[in-house]
Every structure is written in C-alpha cells, then in structure tokens.
Chains A and B, each alone.
Chain A
C-alpha cells in the first residue's frame, strides 16, 4: 500500500468513527510540524494544519493527526480533554519558585521563566503519551508510510535532543528538567524498540536518562492496548510516576 492510500484510508476511518471529515490546510504560522483542532458541533470539521517546511513527510503528519483523533475519540461519549486551571498552574509555579535559587535574577523575569517551564512540562505530559500511542499505531497499521514516518520521527528526535544541551540543563530546575527529558527518553526508546535503531539512544545513555524513560514505557505497556481510555490512563500513570498528579484534570465531552 502506498503512503497516499494509507492516508486516504485513515482519513476515511476518522470520518466513519467521528462523523466529521478531516480538512487539511498548509500553515506557515505554526511552530510545530503539524497541529490539529478536533471538530465540534459549531465547527463540524476536524482541522489539520501542516507546516509546509515539513512537506516531504506531510502524508505521515496528516495520518498521525488522524490517528490522534481516532485514539481520542475511541469512546465518542467520553472524549478526554487535558485541562489545567489558571489557579492550579499559579500554585504550581509558586511552589517551584520557592525551590529555585534567585541568584540576583529579577523576580518578574524569574516568574515568567517558571511559568514557561510549567506550561512546557504540562504540554509534554499531555502530548508525549499521545505521540507514543500514535507512533505505535502508525507503525503497525500504515506500512506504506514507514519511510515518511522515519523521516518525521528523526526530525523530531533531533529537535528533542536539543534539550540535552548542558546550557539548558544549567538553566532549568533539576526536577523539571529530569521529568521533561525522561518523557523524551521514553519516546526515543519506543522508536528504538520499533526500529532496532540503537544510535538514537546514544545521547540519552551518555547522560543517564534511559532508566527513567524505560520506567515510563513499562507504565504504558501495563495498560491494555485496546483500552478505550488508554490515552488518559497513560497520562495519569506518568503523572503519578513523575509526581505531577493533581497538576491537571480531565474534561470529558460528547462527540
């Protein structure tokens, strides 16, 4: 099967499962490879945005976003949305500020930095488990997209490994840094398991982050792959492991 045949098939699966079609638009304004907005009754189309910079693997990008929709909409009576209240986020930031050494940095700047770190970590917690599930799903079901998937994942791994730069490690509080890299390590490990590529593990092994990543993978594997609520369950399991439970809540809606 070709990559376009896989893409068409998965787009049709989304339409069948959710009742809404997928519309794809190139957008240079997004920072990521792709983005997606799930359909609602007010906007009866799933919108997928693809960054034209990554057009050489655009079929995979769209398929991966469709796979996310299928995973999220597995139970269309209970579609999970990861939610963080402003109040909860503010209290997490205050706790983190107390743990940080101030070293003459103006408080306002430090507060802004902490806010960015917390937002980033929460975004990772919401997205990396989903990316892992999508990685597995596409690798298993879309053989025609294997080449594009490898290109996309390698571009992604390259960007993720930038966080291992010692300068970043110096700037970011230890706890936040370790949680963030552990989630990235889980992603790298999963891809290594799927493809047998050991080269990609080198930086994580050299810096001692593989063990925590392996722990997160075990938590994912402990949940039945067919569970309709696999996505929120993996996020919850990881949050518990990383001491982040209570940082967010789930809001469920009907499709």
Chain B
C-alpha cells in the first residue's frame, strides 16, 4: 500500500506535548529535533504498521505504512489523542491529509470538523461537519457537533435544528442532551430542564453537566434539589473552578432558605451568636481566632445551615454543633476580629440582637 505521509515545520510543533521547556528547545535545535522525533517514534510504536520519522533543520516528515491497507482508524485515533492534549497543530496535518486522501471517510470529516470548531474556524468546521452528516445522516455525534458549531457563531435556529436531529437519532446521547438542554434553558428554563436532568443522569461524573442542571433547577425555584446537585458536583472534583461556583450557589441557597420570612429574626441564630460571645469572652482572643478560622476552613466543604442536627465537631472546641451554630460562631468571630470579612451570610440583625443581650449580662 502507498505510505501515508505528512510533514510540518519544526517550529510549529506544540511544545506542550513535551515535558521540556520551550525556550530550552528553541535554543537547542538538535535537542528539539531529537525530542520531536522521539515523541512521534513513541506515538507510532503503539500502532500496527511501520513508521519512519525524519527531521532536517526545519522540517519533520512522518511516513507510515499501516499493517492493513486503507486502515485509517489508528491514524484518526492518534489525531484524536493529539486533539485531547490540545495539540491542534500536530493533529491538523494528519486530519487534513486524511480528508484529502479519504474524502468519503465520515470519521475523518467529523473529527476534523470538531477540531476546526474548537479552533474557532467555524465556516470550515461547518463544511466538514455537513459533509459528515451528508455521508452518514444517522451520525448523531456529527449532528451534535454541527449544532455546537452553529451555536458558536450565533445561529441558534440552525443549532437547535441540528441538535434536535441528533436527539431524534440518539435520545440518550448525553452530550446532545447537555447542549440542547443548555440552549433551550437560556430563554425557557422549564423547557431545557428535562434534557439537562437526563444529561446529568447519563454523565454523573461530568461537572459541567451537573452544574448546568443545578443552575436550571435553581432558576425554576427547585432550590433544595439544586443544592443537592451542586453538592454532588463539588464531590466529583472539589478543587476546580466549577466546584467553587457550586459552593457560591450553595451559600446563596442557604442564605435564601435561612430568610424564609424576610426581615424576621432567626432566634436560634441570636442564641448561637450570644453563646459565641460568651465563649470568646471566656476563652480569650487566641481561642477566638483558632475557632473562627477552623470553622471558616471547615465551611469550605459546605456547612448545612438548614439542618438543626448537631453533626459537626471541631478540634478547637469541644462538643458537636449544627451548621447554623458554627456559622453563627464564625460570624461573631469575624465581626470581632475583622468586620470587613465577607462570611457569605448576613447575620447582622441576629448579631446586633445578641450584642444587646450580651451587654445586659
């Protein structure tokens, strides 16, 4: 079989694919050539066929003879693996070359189109994705990718039609459900909600899918369910930006629930604030700092302020406490140490009431 060949300029290589500093590679051309050759040698070693990699001063040439004739799968897989690592410049010559050589290959057009869409080259992306759905009208993923590309250039009508086509072909495609649900929920949350709910069920480890579902639940005032979804989203990977956004949403929901009757004092919080004032007065400023900071740090994992059960414990203070109790202690601590601190919850009225009770002794 005729070998498959592609080449690219050495300076176009995506340095993120190597665990070597970019400036060092740029200052040492031999090292750069060796490292790039080594990268492709490693990549092709895993594939079934024979590869030759040549490098001269500016150019890298890769020549590959697959073990089975016209077998594009392994090469497409390599391009997809490169795309996943963000190495568009390396994936592009492979996909470009494949699409020229195999113009009837739907997988090639689909992956090439997705890559171009991610790169912001929407017209070209839509052209390849349209080719993919023409070659294979039942390709739900290609319709989904086409919908996303339309959405990115603001053609919402075409986007909805493409996504609905994908959904019609594959009602359980979680990515279509997520994209279609998100798009519909923008103007009409109740309409988008069932799609987002199903997407979240099908993608239980996808933070974006769960976060989108949680936001939509909050928009339709199903805040208890939204809170639970945000809690699960944080659990998936607690230290991402999405997790941070979920924590903020949970704080907002907690604060809303606390004020079920606007303007009315929460007497339980007043008593907790008073108790904190007594403890801090008795134990002194160092203990106050320890307790306050420990609660603040514990609170990062989420304190359930709407459950009165004493279920939290501290190293710095004996006993078990409810979420609202700890938040009240923390509020008093920060009010006494640094009133400008944003604790994420407003207990100012309860704090003032407790202060006047405390002053009366």
Task: List residues of A whose CB falls within 8 A of some B CB.
Answer: 3-4, 19-21, 23-26, 42-45, 47, 50, 52, 55, 58-59, 61-62, 153-155, 157-159, 161-162, 164-167, 197-200, 202-203, 206
A44 lies within 8 A of B316 (CB): yes
Bound form: Cα–Cα A202–B237 in Å: 35
A171 to chain B minimum Cβ distance, whole angstroms, is 14
* Given A42-B286, A159-B21, A199-B38, CB of A26 within 8 Å of CB of B239: yes
12 example contacts (A-B, Cβ-Cβ < 8 A) are as follows A4-B235, A21-B315, A24-B239, A45-B297, A47-B297, A55-B239, A161-B24, A165-B23, A166-B27, A202-B34, A203-B31, A206-B34
Chain B residues whose CB sits within 8 angstroms of the CB of A202 once the complex forms: 20, 31, 34-35, 38
The answer to whether B290 touches A25, judged by C-beta atoms less than 8 angstroms apart, is no
Contacts of A62 in B (CB 8 A): 239
Describe A's contact surface by its main secondary structure. helix
Docked complex: B272-297 residues within 8 A CB-CB of A: 286, 290, 293-294, 297
How far is it, in angstroms, between the C-alpha of A47 and the C-alpha of B300 when the chains are bound? 12
Q: Which residues in B have their C-beta under 8 angstroms from that of A157? A: 19-20
Give every chain B residue within 8 A of A3 (Cβ-Cβ). 237
Q: Are A44 and B294 in contact (CB under 8 A)?
A: yes
Q: Which residue of B lies closest to A157 (CB)?
A: B19
Cα(A47)–Cα(B293), bound, Å: 11
- Complex CA–CA separation, A59 to B315 (angstroms): 25
Q: A20-B315, A162-B21, A206-B28 are in contact. Are A4 and B244 (CB under 8 A)?
A: no
Distance (whole angstroms) from the CB of B77 to the closest CB of chain A: 17
Interface magnitude class on chain B: 35 or more
Smallest Cβ-Cβ distance to B34: which chain A residue: A202
Name the residue on B nearest A156 (C-beta).
B19
Closest CB-CB distance, B240 to chain A, in whole Å? 5
Contact status B297-A164, CB under 8 Å: no
Least Cβ–Cβ distance between A221 and chain B, in angstroms: 23
Least distance between B14 CB and chain A CB atoms (Å): 12
Closest to A20 in B: B315
State A135–B22 Cα separation when bound (angstroms).
24
Contact A23:B298 (CB < 8 A) given known A198-B38, A202-B34? yes
Interface of B is mostly: helix
Contact A25 B297 (CB under 8 A): yes
Q: A23-B298, A25-B300, A59-B237 are in contact. Are A199 and B42 (CB under 8 A)?
A: yes
The one of B38, B238, B241, B290 in contact with A43, judged by C-beta atoms closer than 8 angstroms, is B290
Residues of A close to B39: CB separation below 8 A? 199
Query: CA–CA, A156 to B323, complex, Å?
Result: 40
Tell whether B236 is near chain A: CB-to-CB under 8 Å: yes
Cβ distance B121 to chain A, nearest Cβ, rounded Å: 25
**How many angstroms between the C-alpha atoms of A44 and B30 in the bound complex?**
53
Q: Which residues of B contact A45 (CB under 8 A)?
A: 293-294, 297-298, 315
Partner of A58 from the list B22, B28, B240 (CB cut-off 8 Å) is B240
User: B18 in the interface, Cβ–Cβ < 8 Å?
Assistant: yes
Q: For A23, what are the chain B residues with a Cβ–Cβ distance below 8 Å?
A: 297-298, 300-301
Query: Of all chain A residues, which has the CB nearest B315?
Result: A44
By a CB distance below 8 angstroms, the chain A residues around B298 are 21, 23, 45
Taking the nearest CB of chain A, how far is it from the CB of B342, in angstroms?
15
Contact in complex: B20, A43 (CB < 8 Å) = no
A58–B237 CB distance below 8 A: yes
How far is A200 from B103 in the complex, measured between Cα atoms in Å? 38
Assembly CA distance A153 to B24 (angstroms) = 18
Indicate if the CB atoms of B23 and A26 lie closer than 8 Å: no
Contacts of B42 in A (CB 8 A): 199
1/0 per position for B8-52, CB-CB distance to A under 8 A?
Answer: 000000000011111110011011001100110010000000000
A55 to B237, CA, bound (A): 9
Q: Which residues of B contact A19 (CB under 8 A)?
A: 315
Tell me, in angstroms, the Cα distance from A45 to B299 when the chains sit together.
12
What chain B residues lie within 8 Å of A155 (beta carbons)? 19
Determine whether the beta carbon of B239 is less than 8 Å from that of A158.
Answer: no
Complexed CA–CA distance, A44 and B290 (Å): 7
Looking at B35, B244, B297, the one whose CB has the most chain A CB atoms below 10 A away is B297
Say how far B84's CB is from chain A's closest CB, in angstroms: 11
The complex places the Cα of A167 from the Cα of B28 at a distance, in Å, of 12
Given contacts A45-B297, A158-B21, A199-B42, contact A165 B290 (CB under 8 A): no
